[in-house]
Each structure stands twice: as structure tokens, then as C-alpha cells.
């Protein structure tokens, strides 16, 4: 019998992206943490567990030695909702195979990869279940498989699903692996699971394959947060659930008291957290339980950090597509849910929530506390030419009412075995590819850009923007959080640094900003030129006439007070 205390285990994080789960950096998913906790619970010491991301292995081939020499290699990955990523690149199938070929010990693969693998990580794909040359594939939960595989002496396991009693032990036990993540501690946001599974059965979604929702206790989640906080994590996202409003209830109706225990408990054990965001919120819950939902949303906005997003799964505004795919809400119902979140949580910190203006001169210069986001999926059964018009009409109604959306996510479906979409496959998505591209471009131009200006008007300050890459003479970065804005700052700045940014201009899905506060005595020409109302000629005059003792001495028509602060200016002496 193999003694677990003598095992060398290597966990490779190939990243996950699921309907209710982020794992591409700067996010770290629950999978490596829960798996590490399960291994420790089975008797493997923390010192016997190595953790690497796929990007680490790409960048440093010497780390493949940990793959080759491990008694047990565990690969974690799988994409069921593909996106575009800045902080990391998910493992492709060929890389996953190479890991198995390199390992001399026993190999185990798990995570959402068990639902299927396509030719690439992209939409409009038909996914097939493949073992990719691993000894074992966890058809149940990979963390349970890892625990049971070690307990069996690496002989096998029973493909069981773990339960909340398991997580009560494993979630906090596995927090130590975050210290080995390349982004730790400053640019890492921990994904937190409150439940998984879904009470509803939309045709394309893999979340119902986990069964009906099984909610963890608020106390269990809070203990996990405390363990992560003790390991240096300061950013958290309650993203692993189909509907945050249903937490602690029967899977459908809100339970405001449970949400208060959860959020207040997190704030108590993580007093200096930098981010507390969420992801999924089911609009049908707001429609069916309006008063309890309003109370729950107020609780979230009381405890979260600004710029939070509640993703709404409208999926399609076309009633034909809704009917054929078991979608939950009509366009009008979703519109009402958008109104409710705007009313209860669309205020900006610094204002009185009771009567805080959200736009205009009286609004605070921060992002709103919590706004809805809209998910639209194309390639579903019943999709037709009118579908695209229905979706655009819905988005235009939202805008015309003066409401705010934090983001609009438009993607093409991936067809997985076990979902109703497996019968339809990706055929509809392929047939409508050209129309999809044209429609997506129109939404970006006609809705996204003006909506961004409404949500984040000029002068809005984004604190702690992490600078990630250079392109076209600019530096691009993001805040940590749910669906953060991509910000371009003039000039090439030190990557990995953070800075506060004030917004000055808008693209379709990104914004331009300048350092905040901006000092007219030291600002570059590019920074000054980027300011609204300041062209290159005026910027040149500002530079030539330096120094200034006050903003009033700058002598330009543009309102610099939104971007500069008197106490930031150097003395003219």
C-alpha cells in the first residue's frame, strides 16, 4: 500500500471557464484549491504538492520536471463558455496530451474537460468526450477522484460527486496552493463557490448537469475566505453559482437573511479586502419574487465593492428561441429585472443610496455599486433572421429607458453531450456566422459605446488598475473584479504596476484613461491631449507655460478639475 505521506503530486491548472466559474488568470478557480484540500485530507502533506499553471509551464520548461517526476499528475481544465483572455491562455488539447505523455507516474484529468473537448477553445464547436491519453478521467468530481485515488493506493476511484460536507473540510484546507500562483498576491482574485447546479434546464447549459442546486452554508464559505485571506488573497468573487439571489434557499426563492450572513461574514474575516464581486443572478428570480429580491440586492450593494456585475441569462429575446430552448424569461421580464437592479444598486459610492444620481454632474466619480450584465447566446435551436432583430430591439429599449448595463456578452453556443443542444450541434451557429458577426459589430457600435459613457462618464475614477501589456504606444490594464473594463493609458508604463485612472474616451468595449490625479506640471503631451476639450495645440501651450501654482493658472477652457487635484501639483517656487 502506498503511503500518502510519501507521494509527490503535481497539479497543473489548464484553466476553466464555465457558465458559473472563472479560472483564467487573474482568476483562480476552485478546482486546484479543492483538489489540494482533498489530497491533504487523504494524507498527502502540503509539502508533497506542487501547483503550476499552464502558462508557467510554457514560460519555463524546467518546471516540466515536476510533471515528469510526480507520482501523481492531476490536470485540471476545460472550457464550456469560451471567451477572449488577457491574463492567460487556456491549455489546448495538444498541450493536455503532452502533459500525459511527459508524466512518468499516474495521471488523472478532471474538471469541465470531462464534458467534452473541441478542436480549439472557441464557440460554435461540437465537443467530444476524450481521455487525451490519461490513465484516469474523473467522470464525477476531480477533487473527490483525487481523494479516493490516493486512498486506494493509486488503484482507482468510483467517479463520485463530492458533497458540501466534503467542501467543509477541503475548501479551507486547499487555500495554501494560491501562494504558488504566479499572480499571487497582488493580481489574483479567488473564485468562490456558494452552490452549483441549477433548478432550471436551459437547452445549451452544462450547469444543470451538476444537478439541482446544493447550497453551502454561509459559515463554510466564510471559513474558506478566512483561509485565503490568511494566505494573502485580498480579492474575491462569488461567481460559482447559477443565481446568487437563491443562496441559502430552496433553489428558487431568495433568502435575504442567508445573504446577509454570507456577505457580512466575509467582511468580518477579510476586513481589508480589495474586491468583493459576484457573477450570476437569475432575472426570473426577480420577476417571481420582486420584494425579497429587492431586499437581497440592497444587501449585496451594502457589502460589495464598486463596479460589480450581475450577469443575467436572457440568452435570447426571440420568443421562438425562448420556447424551443426552455429559456426562463421574456424580454419584457428581463427588462423589469434590469430596472430593479438599477433602482436598488445602481448608486455610486460616495452618494446617499436613497437619492444618489447615477449620471450627470451630481453623480460621484466612481462606478456604480452593482449593475446587470446581459448574456446573449446564438446558434440555439429555432434561431432565425428575426432573432437578431429581437435582441437588438431589447438592448435599444434598455438604453432608451436611461438604464445601465455593465456589459453585454454575445457568444455562439458550444454543444455538449448531455444537453439538449447536443442534438442540434453547432449547425445553426455555422449557418448564421456572417449574420452573427455583422450583428455583433452593430451592437458594439450602437449600444456598447454610448452605454459605456453612461456607466462611466468622463472623469470617472478607476482605482488600482493593474497594467498588463503594451500596444500601439499605450499601456493596457484592468481592475480586479467581474468583467473589468479594459483601460488604455497613453505611453508605455511599467507592467505589473498599479495606478488610479480617470476616464477620458471610449471604444466599443474598452476605455482610455489618464493617471489620476493628473498634474499639469508633469503630465505628458499625450496625457494632456487625451483630455476632453484639450487638443494638441492647447496641450503644447500648457507644457510651454509651466509651472503652475494652481489649476486656475493653466488658463484653458477645458474643465481640468475632473482630472487634476490642486494638492497634486508641484509648487511653482
pLDDT at site 123: 42
The candidate with the shortest Cα–Cα distance to 554, out of 513, 523, 514, 512, is 523
Place of cell 475614477: 461
pLDDT category at 425 given cuts 50, 70, 90 is low
Spatial distance between the Cα atoms of 248 and 256, rounded to a whole number of angstroms: 9
Tell me which range, 8-12, 128-132, 509-513, 526-530, is most confidently predicted by mean pLDDT. 8-12
pLDDT at site 186: 93
**pLDDT tens for each residue of 332-347:** 999 999 999 999 999 9
Least confident stretch, 70-84, 235-249, 273-287, 437-451: 70-84
Collect contacts of 319-324 with beta carbons under 8 A, ≥24 apart.
319/390, 320/382, 320/384, 320/386, 320/387, 321/380, 321/381, 321/382, 321/383, 321/387, 323/382, 324/203, 324/380, 324/381, 324/382
Tell me: pLDDT of 125 over 50: no
pLDDT at site 421: 55
Instruction: Check if the beta carbon of residue 301 is closer than 8 Å to that of residue 345.
Output: yes
Spatial distance between the Cα atoms of 409 and 201, rounded to a whole number of angstroms: 20
**pLDDT tens for each residue of 127-175:** 455 678 999 999 999 999 999 999 999 999 988 999 999 999 999 999 9
In terms of pLDDT, which residue wins out, 532 or 33?
Answer: 33
Mean pLDDT computed over 482-502 = 95
Beta strands across the sheet bearing 370-378:
308-315, 370-378, 407-412
Tell me: pLDDT of 429 over 70: no
In terms of pLDDT, which residue wins out, 274 or 1?
Answer: 274
End-to-end alpha-carbon separation of the chain, Å? 79
Tell me: pLDDT of 202 over 80: no
Tell me: pLDDT of 65 over 60: yes
Percentage of the chain modeled with pLDDT above 70: 87
The candidate with the shortest Cα–Cα distance to 457, out of 559, 343, 305, is 559
pLDDT at site 124: 40
Mean pLDDT computed over 510-524 = 93
The candidate with the shortest Cα–Cα distance to 114, out of 79, 89, 164, is 79
Beta strands across the sheet bearing 235-240:
27-28, 189-193, 235-240, 275-278
Tell me: pLDDT of 565 over 70: no
Mean pLDDT computed over 233-247 = 94
Mean pLDDT computed over 85-101 = 93
Spatial distance between the Cα atoms of 128 and 118, rounded to a whole number of angstroms: 6
Mean pLDDT computed over 461-485 = 95
Phi, psi angle pair for 525, to nearest 5°: -60, -45
pLDDT category at 32 given cuts 50, 70, 90 is very high
**pLDDT tens for each residue of 249-286:** 888 899 999 999 999 999 999 999 999 999 999 999 99
Phi, psi angle pair for 268, to nearest 5°: -70, -45
Mean pLDDT computed over 309-322 = 93
DSSP secondary structure letters along 164-203: HHHHHHHHHHGGGGGGGSTTTTTT-EEEEES--S-SS--T
Tell me: pLDDT of 34 over 90: yes
The candidate with the shortest Cα–Cα distance to 426, out of 378, 385, 390, 384, is 378
pLDDT category at 79 given cuts 50, 70, 90 is confident
Tell me: pLDDT of 529 over 50: yes
- Provide the 3-class DSSP secondary structure of residue 130: coil
Query: Which pTM value belongs to this model?
Result: 0.90
Tell me: pLDDT of 91 over 90: yes
pLDDT at site 419: 55
Query: What cell numbers appear for 94 in the block?
Result: 495538444
Mean pLDDT computed over 31-35 = 98
pLDDT category at 476 given cuts 50, 70, 90 is very high
User: In this structure, how many other beta carbons lie within 10 angstroms of the beta carbon of residue 203?
Assistant: 23
Domains of the chain: 1-187 (3.40.50), 190-278 (3.30.750), 306-456 (3.30.750.200), 460-553 (2.40.50.140)
Tell me: pLDDT of 204 over 70: no
Instruction: Check if the beta carbon of residue 143 is closer than 8 Å to that of residue 38.
Output: yes
Mean pLDDT computed over 387-407 = 96
pLDDT at site 569: 54
Spatial distance between the Cα atoms of 370 and 276, rounded to a whole number of angstroms: 11
**pLDDT tens for each residue of 342-362:** 999 999 997 555 555 555 556
Amino acid at each position: 500500500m502506498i503511503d500518502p505521506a510519501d507521494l509527490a503530486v503535481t497539479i497543473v491548472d489548464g484553466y476553466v471557464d464555465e457558465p458559473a466559474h472563472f479560472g483564467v488568470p487573474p482568476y483562480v478557480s476552485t478546482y486546484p484549491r479543492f483538489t489540494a484540500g482533498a489530497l491533504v485530507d487523504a494524507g498527502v502533506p502540503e509539502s508533497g504538492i506542487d501547483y503550476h499553471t499552464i502558462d508557467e509551464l510554457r514560460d519555463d520548461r524546467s518546471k516540466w520536471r515536476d510533471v515528469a517526476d510526480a507520482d501523481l499528475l492531476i490536470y485540471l481544465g476545460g472550457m464550456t463558455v469560451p471567451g477572449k483572455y488577457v491574463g492567460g491562455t487556456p491549455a489546448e488539447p495538444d498541450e493536455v496530451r503532452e502533459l500525459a505523455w511527459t508524466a512518468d507516474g499516474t495521471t488523472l484529468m478532471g474538471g469541465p474537460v470531462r464534458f467534452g473537448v473541441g478542436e480549439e477553445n472557441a464557440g460554435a464547436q461540437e465537443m467530444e468526450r476524450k481521455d487525451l491519453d490519461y490513465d484516469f478521467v474523473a467522470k464525477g468530481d476531480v477533487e473527490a477522484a483525487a481523494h479516493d485515488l490516493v486512498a486506494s493506493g493509486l488503484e482507482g476511484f468510483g467517479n463520485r460527486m463530492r458533497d458540501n460536507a466534503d467542501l467543509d473540510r477541503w475548501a479551507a484546507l486547499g487555500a495554501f496552493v494560491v501562494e504558488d500562483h504566479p499572480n499571487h498576491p497582488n493580481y489574483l482574485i479567488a473564485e468562490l463557490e456558494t452552490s452549483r447546479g441549477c433548478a432550471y434546464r436551459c437547452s445549451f447549459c452544462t450547469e444543470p448537469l451538476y444537478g439541482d442546486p446544493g447550497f453551502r452554508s454561509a459559515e463554510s464559505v466564510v471559513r474558506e475566505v478566512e483561509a485565503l485571506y490568511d494566505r494573502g488573497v485580498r480579492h474575491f468573487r462569488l461567481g460559482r453559482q447559477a443565481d446568487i439571489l437563491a443562496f441559502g434557499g430552496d433553489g428558487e426563492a431568495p433568502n435575504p437573511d442567508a445573504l446577509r450572513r454570507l456577505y457580512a461574514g466575509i467582511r468580518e474575516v477579510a476586513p481589508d479586502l480589495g474586491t468583493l464581486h459576484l457573477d450570476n443572478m437569475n432575472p426570473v428570480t426577480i420577476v417571481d419574487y420582486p420584494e425579497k429580491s429587492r431586499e437581497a440586492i440592497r444587501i449585496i450593494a451594502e457589502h460589495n465593492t464598486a463596479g460589480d456585475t450581475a450577469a443575467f441569462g436572457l440568452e435570447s429575446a426571440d420568443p421562438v428561441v425562448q420556447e424551443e430552448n426552455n429559456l426562463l424569461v421574456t424580454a419584457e421580464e428581463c427588462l423589469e429585472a434590469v430596472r430593479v437592479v438599477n433602482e436598488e444598486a445602481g448608486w455610486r459610492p460616495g452618494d446617499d443610496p436613497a437619492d444618489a444620481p447615477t449620471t450627470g454632474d451630481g453623480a460621484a466619480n466612481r462606478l456604480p455599486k452593482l449593475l446587470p450584465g446581459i448574456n446573449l447566446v446564438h446558434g440555439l435551436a429555432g434561431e432565425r433572421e428575426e432573432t437578431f432583430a429581437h435582441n437588438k430591439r431589447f438592448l435599444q429599449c434598455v438604453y432608451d429607458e436611461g438604464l445601465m448595463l455593465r456589459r453585454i456578452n454575445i457568444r455562439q453556443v458550444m454543444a455538449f453531450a448531455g444537453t439538449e443542444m447536443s442534438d442540434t450541434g453547432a449547425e445553426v451557429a455555422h449557418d448564421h456566422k456572417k449574420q452573427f458577426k455583422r450583428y455583433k459589430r452593430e451592437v458594439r457600435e450602437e449600444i456598447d459605446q454610448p452605454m459605456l459613457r453612461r456607466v462611466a462618464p468622463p472623469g470617472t475614477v478607476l482605482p488600482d488598475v493593474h497594467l498588463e501589456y503594451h500596444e500601439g504606444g499605450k499601456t493596457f490594464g484592468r481592475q480586479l473584479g467581474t468583467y473589468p473594463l479594459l483601460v488604455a493609458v497613453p505611453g508605455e508604463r511599467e507592467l505589473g504596476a498599479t495606478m488610479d485612472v480617470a476616464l477620458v474616451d471610449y471604444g466599443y468595449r474598452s476605455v482610455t484613461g489618464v493617471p489620476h490625479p493628473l498634474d499639469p506640471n508633469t503630465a505628458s503631451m499625450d496625457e494632456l491631449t487625451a483630455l476632453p476639450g484639450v487638443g494638441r495645440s492647447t496641450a503644447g501651450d500648457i507644457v510651454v507655460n509651466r509651472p503652475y501654482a494652481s489649476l486656475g493658472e493653466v488658463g484653458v477652457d477645458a474643465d481640468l478639475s475632473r482630472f487634476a487635484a490642486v494638492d497634486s501639483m508641484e509648487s511653482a517656487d
